[in-house]
Amino acid sequence: MDMKIELLAVPVSDLDRAKEFYVDKIGFNADYDIPVSDELRFIQLTPPGSACSIVLDTNMTTMAPGTVKGIQMVIADADAARALLVEKGVDASEVDEQDWGRFVYFEDPDGNSWALQQIPARD
């Protein structure tokens, strides 16, 4: 039986601010922004090339804004990714060199944390 992760909730305090951050600064695609009711707005965003999306969450789960830590995305070039993030005004870490990859870390405006991993070349 196949099981695929397709949607992760990211708890935020301000939907518009979070959408602007992820779309304009990180480069996610804005897939949906649908008002479901007076209390619920469904905003789905997808990183370029990803089969998994995020939904910005203000009241769909019990998670508090900023409590998601360590979502990881794979990238081709850590130096280029960091340079792009910094150019867009994101407070991105220096490239962290590990035996299992090169990493760049950042947080969204609420403190949800992300890791970008450049996987080492396989021999």
Give 80-118 pLDDT, tens digit per residue.
999 999 999 999 999 999 999 999 999 999 999 999 999
Instruction: Tell me the pLDDT of the chain averaged across its residues.
Output: 96
| Mean pLDDT (whole number) for 46-62 | 96
| Whether residue 123 has pLDDT greater than 90 | no
| Whether residue 121 has pLDDT greater than 90 | no
| Whether residue 5 has pLDDT greater than 90 | yes
| Whether residue 73 has pLDDT greater than 90 | yes
How far apart are alpha carbons 65 and 95 in whole angstroms?
Answer: 26
| Mean pLDDT (whole number) for 59-77 | 96
Structure confidence at residue 75 (pLDDT): 97
Residue 108 in tokens: 């969204």
Structure confidence at residue 15 (pLDDT): 98
SS3 label, residue 50: coil
Phi, psi dihedral angles at 23 (to 5 degrees): -85, -55
- Spatial neighbors of 3 by CB under 8 A, at least 6 apart, are none
Give me the helices (H) in the chain, please: 15-20, 78-87
How far apart are alpha carbons 12 and 31 in whole angstroms?
Answer: 18
Q: What is the pTM of this model?
A: 0.94
Give the CATH H-level superfamily of domain 7-118: 2,3-Dihydroxybiphenyl 1,2-Dioxygenase, domain 1 (3.10.180.10)
